[in-house]
Amino acid sequence: MPRPNDALTDPERPAGTAGSSGSGGAAAVLRRVPRLLLSQYLVVVLTVVYVLALLPFTDGLLSSGNVANVLSNYWPLLVVAVGQTFVLVVAGIDLSQTSIMAITNVVAALLVTQAANPVQFSKSPFWGNLIGPDGGPLPASAWGVAVAVVAAVALGALIGLGNGLAVSRLGMPAFMVTLVSLLFFSALAIWATKSENVVDLPDAYVWLGSGDLLGVVPVPLLLAGGVAVAAHLLLARTVLGRRLYAVGTNARAAAISGVPTARVVTTAYVISGICATVGALLYSARLEQGRPTLGANQLLDVVGACVIGGVSLFGGKGNVLGAALGVLLFVVLANGLNLLQLPFTTVMVVKGLVILLAAVLDVLRTRGLEGRT
Amino acid sequence: MTADAPVLVVEGVSKEFFGVRVLRDVSLSLAPGRVLGLVGENGAGKSTLMNILGGILVPDGGSMRLDGEPYRPRGPRDAAALGVTFIHQELNVFSNLSITDNLFLTSYPRLRPLPLLAKRASRERARQLLREVGLDRSPDDLVETLAPGERQLVEIAKAISTDAKVVIFDEPTTSLTARETEKLFDLLRRLQARGTAIVYISHILADVRRVADEILVLRDGGLVGSGPVAEFPTDRMISLMVGRALEQLYPDRRAVPGDGVVLDVAHLSQPGVVADVSLQVHEGEVVGLFGLMGAGRTELARMVFGLDPYASGSVAVDGHRVPPLDPRAAIRRGAAFVTEDRRDEGLLMDFPVVDNLAMVALPRFGRGPAGVVDTRALVAAAREVGKSLRLKTASLERQPARSLSGGNQQKIVLGKWLLSQPRLFILDEPTRGVDVGAKYEVYTVVDDLAARGAGVLVISSELDELQGICDRILVLRRGEITGGFERGAFDAERILRAAFGEPARRASAQDVAEETT
């Protein structure tokens, strides 16, 4: 099965292929960098080394409680990063994911909340029409929650569609389009709730984020794992997947070869919006509240995780597995720094350095492959 | 140094690209105030020679001297500093900057010792230069507001500002109106009077004869004639340029053109690009489209394929009308387009061969509602196409396109279309950057396509090639079809004449030029 993203990790690919055809600084640097450093699996090594290094200095890094904690942080972020991967593959970027998270989790929560405090919510624009003292319009049943989930996902997809159309049909820069979406929908989420968290969510909703199936398999694992596997198959095995890579690698060649480039790019943003929504619902269900600031600080975690997992900001390279590993590193990193009881500022600095490392590796990989100055 | 001592001497200069000799042992000598007219077919080595003079390329052999000193420019800036300025066909102006900024981009006067630009002095100097070249514009005008001819004058003003000893003009009149051309020639004469030596490259032979004192004809990288202009009437220039007799470089044609019309282009027009172009390609027919650079060949192909817009006219493939600006519709009707630029428009360089071959026909291998790719069927089909093209790869599934030779890369581009069995092939410069051996194989593929009943439209700058593989050659000049030649009646001189617009050229050329401005 030839997958385009194999190129980086393919052991049979001669190491010199990349550098030999090229000249100049990047290629020369590349030859001195061990293969592993440019491999997608570097992130696994980094994660293991990090955990081993921290083991003597932390209490219970590998305790079942902490592992469960890490994983509960892992699933939502994984889904969001999987969505980002699609956009990065078509050489775009979706900065609006965190705002989609904010607006969709708030909307879902408002729809199913069972009670709203008038002191907090009477100033909300939805007071009296959508929500009242008895909460949102939908019942607490599984059916009600299902409708809320569908509505939220539809909203996420719609925002993604708007982003995608603006990028592919109007030719606007992805950075600009999604930055505007980021500002707009973040503000909208806060406006809709007047900055209050939406609580009193039904059990069926909370079950999504912390429930078990048959008492053993966590529901978020199933949902996030399902999304990740489906996304992997979509990218690696389908016509759409191939086209996403083709458009991200060489949009002109793809268009001349009859690839509907605008539609392919738009689809990537829609998928990104849907994934952001699913991730948001998992978070919100675990927190048992709809939060207008949900995900506000996670944008760089998502993009950084993808890139360090081998998804290129230049488009056309990377896969779901890489993104999943990248997210693991980020979640473990944050958790470990927390256990060391380092101040928030230190955590930020370390994260920043890791993202920098990811970006540098991305440049080295891309330069090396292009082999030209 | 006497007045007649040559300012520039070139002795035995050679240049190779990837083992191909593009310039062989060329010598010339240029005296101050003289104009050397340089002519030759596309690919004859003119640009290479000029790029060597302009410091862009380094020669493999031979020597150059400027004012008696050895001349070895390390780059275009170095060449300009030493006194050799190259005015490119595509003007190197920054259209969003003012005239002054363009003139002094590399050598802005400073307010010494401050690190600031001497704006007022620069503007004054700019005004003076503009007067010298006869451009009636304010130095503060943005270059984007200038007509093409005026931009050229800015470039020339720049050359004058550095007191160039040698100025090279590459196709200076292609984008100029007749009036602008006259103005340019006046200026050339004034430069001459100042003692500037000029190299003038052009396809418009009448212009060359008018401005040049001496002529130099290149063919296949070698010098085939040089001397005073009086010894080179237009006829002689053309026959020297064509020269070589056709060798057996082409496979025998097996396909016989049928009656069915595969491509029907009717009255296609787009202002400034093509004017009322009508042409047909039949089943099993190979039609060549010849023309000089900038004649509108590639643009025409892109319009037919739905990549570029056109104002009026229609395109039909296999009898079905194809809407403008919809390449996917063209592909559905059976059109295939092999572009001139493989790297940017044809291939995914870092992806394996099979992924490149799959680009067009991919949906056919999608199974089920999700479109899961049937990899086995795809690889089998790719293998078959690879075999029919004699594609040489170590592994279809592993080897990235980048690592293949130019010829094999071109075969991949052809192959990705073969998988979808098109009715019409448009090939734009299919053998550019392909070595001689692989060229023969590309020609064989073209013949195969025709033998299978496809119509083939081949665009090429190499007339030999078209004569070798085509049933019919159409000539495009300034966006108009100016000639059609059947196989058996191919005549390189007549074809070139049609392309150059000889002999009845000046009047019509002026008309077109006026219209397009």
Q: What is the pLDDT of residues B399-458, one digit of tens each?
A: 888 878 778 888 999 999 998 889 999 999 998 767 666 778 889 889 989 998 999 999
Query: What is the pLDDT, as a whole number, of residue B152?
Result: 82
Helices (H), A195-260: 203-210, 219-237, 239-249, 251-256
Query: What is the pLDDT, as a whole number, of residue A34?
Result: 62
Rounded to the nearest angstrom, the minimum Cα separation between B514 and chain A is 34
Q: In chain B, which among 284-343 make CB contacts under 8 A with chain A? A: 305, 307, 327-328, 331, 337, 339
**Does residue A123 surpass a pLDDT of 50?**
yes
Say if CB B73 and CB B231 are below 8 A apart. Answer: no
Rounded to the nearest angstrom, the minimum Cα separation between A173 and chain B is 20
A246–B398 C-beta distance less than 8 A? no
Residue B503 phi, psi dihedral angles, 5° rounding: -90, -20
Interface membership of B348 toward A (CB under 8 Å): yes
For chain A, give the percent of residues with pLDDT over 90: 55
**Does residue A10 surpass a pLDDT of 50?**
no
Using CA coordinates, name the residue in chain B closest to A366.
B350
Residues of chain B contacting A233 with CB distance shorter than 8 Å: 370, 372
For chain B, give the percent of residues with pLDDT over 70: 92
Residues of chain B contacting A245 with CB distance shorter than 8 Å: 348, 351, 355
**Does residue B507 surpass a pLDDT of 90?**
no
Long-range contacts: B178-185, Cβ < 8 Å, 24+? B178/B509, B178/B510, B178/B513, B178/B514, B180/B147, B180/B148, B180/B149, B180/B150, B180/B152, B181/B149, B181/B207, B181/B513, B183/B134, B183/B149, B183/B153, B184/B149, B184/B152, B184/B153, B185/B210, B185/B211
Reported as half-sphere exposure (CB side, CA atoms, 13 A), residue B341 has a value of 8
Q: In chain B, which among 192-231 make CB contacts under 8 A with chain A? A: none
| Neighbour tally for B405: CB within 10 Å | 15
Rounded to the nearest angstrom, the minimum Cα separation between B17 and chain A is 15
Residues of chain A contacting B347 with CB distance shorter than 8 Å: 250, 253
Say if CB A317 and CB A309 are below 8 A apart. Answer: no
Residues of chain A contacting B405 with CB distance shorter than 8 Å: none
Torsion of CA B188, B202, B3, B70, to 10 degrees: 120
Query: What is the pLDDT, as a whole number, of residue B40?
Result: 83
Using CA coordinates, name the residue in chain A closest to B401.
A17
Residues of chain B contacting A10 with CB distance shorter than 8 Å: 398
Encode pLDDT of B148-165 as tens digits: 778 888 888 887 787 789
B453-B454-B458 Cα angle (round to 5):
135
Query: What is the pLDDT, as a whole number, of residue A159?
Result: 98
**Does residue A14 surpass a pLDDT of 80?**
no
- C-alpha–C-alpha distance, residues B50 and B216, integer Å: 13
Residues of chain A contacting B366 with CB distance shorter than 8 Å: 238-239
- C-alpha–C-alpha distance, residues A37 and A361, integer Å: 8
**Does residue B278 surpass a pLDDT of 50?**
yes
From the list A17, A252, A260, the residue facing B344 with the nearest CB is A252
A10–B372 C-beta distance less than 8 A? no
Query: What is the pLDDT, as a whole number, of residue B160?
Result: 78
Residue to mutate among A1, A9, A90, A256, with most B CBs inside 10 A, is A256
Q: In chain A, which among 314-333 make CB contacts under 8 A with chain B? A: 316-317
**Does residue A371 surpass a pLDDT of 60?**
no
**Of the ranges B307-311, B313-317, B494-498, which one carries the lowest mean pLDDT score?**
B494-498
Model confidence at B517, pLDDT cuts 50, 70, 90, reads very low
Exposed/middle/buried for residue A128 (C-beta within 10 Å: 0-12, 13-18, 19+): exposed
Higher-pLDDT residue of B501, B210: B210
Residue to mutate among B333, B343, B348, B379, with most A CBs inside 10 A, is B348
Query: What is the pLDDT, as a whole number, of residue A9?
Result: 38
The alpha carbon of B81 is separated from its chain's Cα centroid by a whole number of angstroms, namely 28
Rounded to the nearest angstrom, the minimum Cα separation between A276 and chain B is 22
- C-alpha–C-alpha distance, residues B161 and B200, integer Å: 20
Nearest of A367, A373, A254 to residue A313 by alpha carbon:
A367
Residues of chain B contacting A15 with CB distance shorter than 8 Å: none
Rounded to the nearest angstrom, the minimum Cα separation between B92 and chain A is 22
Residue to mutate among B317, B351, B402, with most A CBs inside 10 A, is B351
Rounded to the nearest angstrom, the minimum Cα separation between A26 and chain B is 17
B348–A245 C-beta distance less than 8 A? yes
Interface membership of A1 toward B (CB under 8 Å): yes
B349–A237 C-beta distance less than 8 A? no
Interface membership of A65 toward B (CB under 8 Å): no
Rounded to the nearest angstrom, the minimum Cα separation between B363 and chain A is 6
Encode pLDDT of A256-302 as tens digits: 999 999 999 999 999 999 999 999 999 999 999 999 999 888 998 89
Helices (H), B371-491: 375-388, 406-418, 436-451, 463-469
How many A/B residue pairs have CB atoms within 8 Å? 99
Tell me the β-bridge partners of B316. B264, B321
Residues of chain B contacting A248 with CB distance shorter than 8 Å: none
Residues of chain B contacting A17 with CB distance shorter than 8 Å: 400, 402-403
Torsion sign, CA atoms B57, B58, B63, B68: positive
Query: What is the pLDDT, as a whole number, of residue B87?
Result: 84
Query: What is the pLDDT, as a whole number, of residue B382?
Result: 94
Say if CB B317 and CB B487 are below 8 A apart. Answer: no
**Does residue B80 surpass a pLDDT of 70?**
yes
Mean pLDDT of A236-258: 94
Interface membership of B43 toward A (CB under 8 Å): no
Using CA coordinates, name the residue in chain A closest to B420.
A257
For chain B, give the percent of residues with pLDDT over 90: 39
Encode pLDDT of B196-214 as tens digits: 999 998 877 888 999 999 9
Residues of chain A contacting B351 with CB distance shorter than 8 Å: 4, 7, 245-246, 249
Question: How far are the Cα atoms of A48, A208, A266 from residue B381, in angstroms, in the given order?
Answer: 43, 46, 30
**Does residue B314 surpass a pLDDT of 90?**
yes
User: SS3 of B84, please?
Assistant: strand
Interface membership of B425 toward A (CB under 8 Å): no
Rounded to the nearest angstrom, the minimum Cα separation between A181 and chain B is 30
Nearest of B56, B136, B133, B147 to residue B95 by alpha carbon:
B147
Torsion of CA A289, A290, A295, A297, to 10 degrees: -70
Model confidence at A2, pLDDT cuts 50, 70, 90, reads very low
Mean pLDDT of A117-131: 84
- C-alpha–C-alpha distance, residues B447 and A220, integer Å: 60
Residues of chain A contacting B345 with CB distance shorter than 8 Å: 250, 252-253, 256
Query: What is the pLDDT, as a whole number, of residue A4?
Result: 44
From the list B339, B345, B373, the residue facing A238 with the nearest CB is B373
Say if CB B490 and CB B465 are below 8 A apart. Answer: no
**Does residue B104 surpass a pLDDT of 90?**
no
Residues of chain B contacting A244 with CB distance shorter than 8 Å: none
Residue to mutate among B337, B339, B342, B350, with most A CBs inside 10 A, is B350
Helices (H), chain A: 16-20, 25-32, 35-38, 42-54, 64-89, 97-112, 118-121, 142-168, 174-193, 203-210, 219-237, 239-249, 251-256, 261-287, 299-308, 320-339, 344-370
Interface membership of B403 toward A (CB under 8 Å): yes
Tell me the ipTM for this assembly. Answer: 0.79
B54-B59-B64 Cα angle (round to 5):
65
- C-alpha–C-alpha distance, residues B176 and B156, integer Å: 14
Joined tokens for residue B350: 């870092």
Rounded to the nearest angstrom, the minimum Cα separation between A256 and chain B is 7
Q: Please enumerate in sequence order all residues whose Cβ is within 8 A of that of A19, keeping only pairs 6 or more positions apart, or say none.
A: A27, A28, A30, A31, A368, A371
User: SS3 of B49, please?
Assistant: helix
- C-alpha–C-alpha distance, residues B96 and A262, integer Å: 30
Q: Find the length of chain A.
A: 373
From the list A13, A238, A370, the residue facing B398 with the nearest CB is A13
| Neighbour tally for A210: CB within 10 Å | 15
Average pLDDT, chain A: 86
**Of the ranges A89-93, A181-185, B391-395, which one carries the lowest mean pLDDT score?**
B391-395
**Of the ranges A43-47, B307-311, B475-479, which one carries the lowest mean pLDDT score?**
A43-47
Torsion sign, CA atoms B107, B112, B116, B121: negative
Average pLDDT, chain B: 85
Interface membership of B362 toward A (CB under 8 Å): yes
**Does residue B273 surpass a pLDDT of 80?**
yes
Question: How far are the Cα atoms of B32, B103, B151, B180, B207 from residue B157, in angstroms, in the given order?
Answer: 19, 7, 10, 15, 21
